[in-house]
Structure 1
Amino acid sequence: MATTVADQVKLDILSKTHTSDNENKLKEIARTFISDTVTVPTKEMYAYATLATLGDDVYFDPSTAALEAHIAKLTGKEAAIFMPSGTASNQIALRTHLKQPPYSILCDHRAHVYKYEAGGAAFHSGAAVTAVIPSNKHHLTLSDVEDNVVIGAEIHSTPTEIIALENTLNGTIFPQSEIVAISNYAHSHGIKMHLDGARIWHVAAETETSVKELCDPFDSISLCFSKGLGAPIGSCLAGTKEFVNRARWFRKLFGGGMRQTGILAASAAYALTYNFPQLKRVHALAKKLEVGLEEIGAEILSRAETCMVFYDPSSLGLDYGEIADRAGALPDPLFLGGSRLVVHIQTTEAAIEDFLRVIKELAEEKRKAGFVRSESKSSKLKDIYVRRIPEKPIQ
């Protein structure tokens, strides 16, 4: 019998093992140290999301508008706009600020807007980027900015129009006093300040500083709901009403206008209410990782200021590959991505303990095989203090 068009079109994506597959995925996520983007919505989040409004966000959706209004109030800005991703939020912010070339963006050489957004500043905005290595190897200082900023009309240079800072950056907290100093300097020269605040929630939780105070020095702020907070999708971009109205135009131009976003906005609201309070526990687990690694004898390249630890196992005679192999061969595997260990709201304490046990057992095997601890390479590594497995881009 001939099939109908409807028969050809229909699709059922739910397999017979769908439920058990999801349960297994949750177990995997609980033991994944690669990134905090791996977090997934819970059943409770899904249930809350189904109650959201069903408007069209290109025109108006009440649930999404409520989220935007809350983020505007939380950040102390006039307005906010829901975005499909942190990259979209950052790049649309830059494009909205930049009006007439030539212009450049000054940022840390490790910044997401520079290293991990596919050259978006050049492609979307035609902007040059001045990527600065912090003199203190931790965060940019006013002195670093003054040494690299371009002010004036000297035609061989590209004027700095935006200073883009990231907080946290690789899990480290940018001192607020330094941000304020940079902001005052920037604004005195008519330079805009943008914050990639994908993980600003961690700073607020750890320092007990209001989000508004953290955002006050900036003209625009990007905040993520899926990175660390456990929502499925989304970021918000906040700024003045004029800025957000223009950003909404660019969001449409870039293809980022979405329709029934109420379910996504509700997921973000649930994450803010129920997942944000879990971040202090996340930080405590990261600190446990750091302390455990040091006790075993590994070198710490970047400490657990929030949810990340960077370590070097070479002083134990180990490399990241053999650690990942042993961890992946456990009855309940661990998933690793190099020198960076990221803890998130769905990481279990058992995963922390199992990881430290793997390191300890491998180190003991090396010692028994005759390995003699040599002088650490960490002093050199701390100059870049991020070493990753190349084939796994990190968010």
Structure 2
Amino acid sequence: MSTTLIQPWTLRGQRLLSTRALLTNNVIVAPVRPSPATFSSLSTVHQRIVADFRSDTLTQPTDEMIKKVMLSASRGDDVYEEDDSVRSLESHVAQLTGHEAGLFCASGTMTNQLAFKASLLTPPASILCDRRSHVYRYEAGGLASHSQTTVYPVQALANKGHHITVQDLEREFVVDDGDVHMAPTRLISLENTLDGTVMPLQEVKAIRRFANENKVLLHLDGARIWNAAVAAGCDLKDFTQEFDSVSLCVSKGIGAPIGSVLVGNKGLIKKARHFRKMFGGGWRQAGGLAAAAHWCIDNVWPTMKETHALAKYLAEGIEREGKGASIYQPVESNMVFLDLAGSGVLLRDLSRGLKEKGIRIGNEDALESQTQVRLVLHWQISRQAVDDFIGVVGELAEASAREGRVLPGGDVGDKKQQSVYGRR
């Protein structure tokens, strides 16, 4: 195994004192967040962007990551299963999650879809998932196309819609009782975090028991399970070992250039590897990407607590300075859901004001009436950028208050009608 490929630049599992140190020449400096000037290899137009709140997929690989970690990675052929860096990453993530094996793939959508395809081999079948979940809404109908599977979306009714429960699942569960009109439930898919909120571990355990009692599989879309574990203050394995399969994205909050890892038992991963090839996902010299992901797990993941604190700081600042601007989802990890309606400010105005500070947000081409946006923080968002963001909101809200502007659409019903995602 080649875990030493990335060890010269960091001690395994050791928390760094500064996230900015990850972006410089290994020199610890006082500020705790990176400077955009570090991204010296980027084009001039991108260097003007100080902070990008559209998604945590927009983290940039650093010069140090490319020149040291990726350049020193192994260069074998992953389809032949001969790349040491890929094997090291897969083994490392499998061990972290309490599973037998792992498979490194190009995206979280791919690892989710491979898990379903490898698990649901014989139609007819249906799955249950939260109606807000990525696998249902944002994977281009992959479940129907790849697995010939019916999806029964579940609405979270308890806990103010925070997360689905066993009671919610029971309402939609299709028993395999021989009724030829029905597609029996074969799998339950959960997502954690979902819209930045964390499904409690006790609820995951309750759903695991329900799945066992009904002899169905349990999958986790854990694109941001790293955030969930940090926010819950527990070991990653506490969550992931409850599932038959888990998809863990490394290109979001973890900060790697690309990729996702699917974990499960050896039989599932062997079948998923076969389907990955069939889907055209068999990549060759992927060692550099795997080494970068491995390094980011060891170095960026420990900084998530700081990122979550910065998200709460942003939310509190907006509500303090925004004169009616509100945060309408609990801030439990790295996401802030902002509604400007109460302040009389339009999203387009906020976007223009932030651009002058070098800050980007989602829905920049929003409709004139749009007032809501999802903000996603990550390890390359600085405290200064957050302070600038709060300042712009305050200035616009103050101007709106002087002019007596009022916008419609402040209640919960209207909030649900606005799309805040753009690209995920």
Same fold per superposition (TM over 0.5): yes
Instruction: Please give the alpha-carbon distance, in whole angstroms, between the structure 2 residues aligned to 1:243 and 1:373.
Output: 52
Instruction: Please give the alpha-carbon distance, in whole angstroms, between the structure 1 residues aligned to 2:374 and 2:359.
Output: 17
Tell me, which stretches of 5 or more residues in structure 1 are unaligned?
1-17
1:8 aligned partner: none
2:219 aligned partner: 194
Task: Indicate whether 1:304 and 2:331 are aligned.
Answer: yes
How far 1:309 sits from its partner (Å)? 0.8
Picking from 96, 99, 118, the partner of 1:74 is 96
How far 1:387 sits from its partner (Å)? 3.2
For the Cα contact (< 8 Å) 1:312–1:378, is it kept in 2? no
User: What are the within-5 Å matches in structure 2 for residues 315-394 of structure 1?
Assistant: 315-328=342-355, 330-337=356-363, 338-371=372-405, 377-381=410-414, 384=416, 387-388=419-420, 392-393=422-423
For the Cα contact (< 8 Å) 1:36–1:227, is it kept in 2? yes
Instruction: Please give the alpha-carbon distance, in whole angstroms, between the structure 2 residues aligned to 1:281 and 1:386.
Output: 30
Q: For residues 307 and 21 of structure 1, do their structure 2 counterparts lie closer, same or farther at Cα, with a shift above 3 Å needed?
A: same
| Alignment length (residue pairs) | 371
| SS across alignment from 1:162 | strand
Task: Kindly provide the amino acid, as one letter, of the partner of residue 307 in structure 1.
Answer: N
| SS across alignment from 2:288 | helix
For the Cα contact (< 8 Å) 1:134–1:140, is it kept in 2? yes
Task: Indicate whether 1:113 and 2:135 are aligned.
Answer: yes
Task: Indicate whether 1:204 and 2:190 are aligned.
Answer: no
How far 1:227 sits from its partner (Å)? 0.9
Deviations 1:313-351 (A, max 9, x none): 1111122222112222x1534334352011111111122
Instruction: Please give the alpha-carbon distance, in whole angstroms, between the structure 2 residues aligned to 1:124 and 1:226.
Output: 24
Task: Kindly provide the amino acid, as one letter, of the partner of residue 218 in structure 1.
Answer: F
For the Cα contact (< 8 Å) 2:100–2:263, is it kept in 1? yes
Percent identity for Structure 1 against Structure 2: 42
| SS across alignment from 1:105 | strand
How far 1:373 sits from its partner (Å)? 8.4
Instruction: Please give the alpha-carbon distance, in whole angstroms, between the structure 2 residues aligned to 1:142 and 1:76.
Output: 24
Task: Indicate whether 1:221 and 2:273 are aligned.
Answer: no
Instruction: Please give the alpha-carbon distance, in whole angstroms, between the structure 2 residues aligned to 1:237 and 1:254.
Output: 15
| SS across alignment from 1:302 | coil
Tell me, which stretches of 5 or more residues in structure 2 are unaligned?
1-38, 364-371
Instruction: Please give the alpha-carbon distance, in whole angstroms, between the structure 1 residues aligned to 2:414 and 2:252.
Output: 26
For the Cα contact (< 8 Å) 2:174–2:183, is it kept in 1? yes
Q: For residues 26 and 154 of structure 1, do their structure 2 counterparts lie closer, same or farther at Cα, with a shift above 3 Å needed?
A: farther
How far 1:380 sits from its partner (Å)? 2.5
How far 1:159 sits from its partner (Å)? 0.8
| SS across alignment from 1:169 | coil
Deviations 1:110-141 (A, max 9, x none): 11111111100011111111111211311111
Instruction: Please give the alpha-carbon distance, in whole angstroms, between the structure 2 residues aligned to 1:36 and 1:86.
Output: 13
How far 1:365 sits from its partner (Å)? 0.9
Task: Indicate whether 1:148 and 2:172 are aligned.
Answer: yes
For the Cα contact (< 8 Å) 1:105–1:160, is it kept in 2? yes
Instruction: Please give the alpha-carbon distance, in whole angstroms, between the structure 1 residues aligned to 2:346 and 2:272.
Output: 45
Task: Kindly provide the amino acid, as one letter, of the partner of residue 386 in structure 2.
Answer: I
For the Cα contact (< 8 Å) 1:340–1:386, is it kept in 2? no
- Normalising by structure 1, report the TM-score: 0.89
For the Cα contact (< 8 Å) 1:334–1:351, is it kept in 2? no
2:56 aligned partner: 36
User: What are the within-5 Å matches in structure 2 for residues 37-52 of structure 1?
Assistant: 37-46=57-66, 47-52=68-73
1:249 aligned partner: 274
Instruction: Please give the alpha-carbon distance, in whole angstroms, between the structure 2 residues aligned to 1:271 and 1:20.
Output: 19
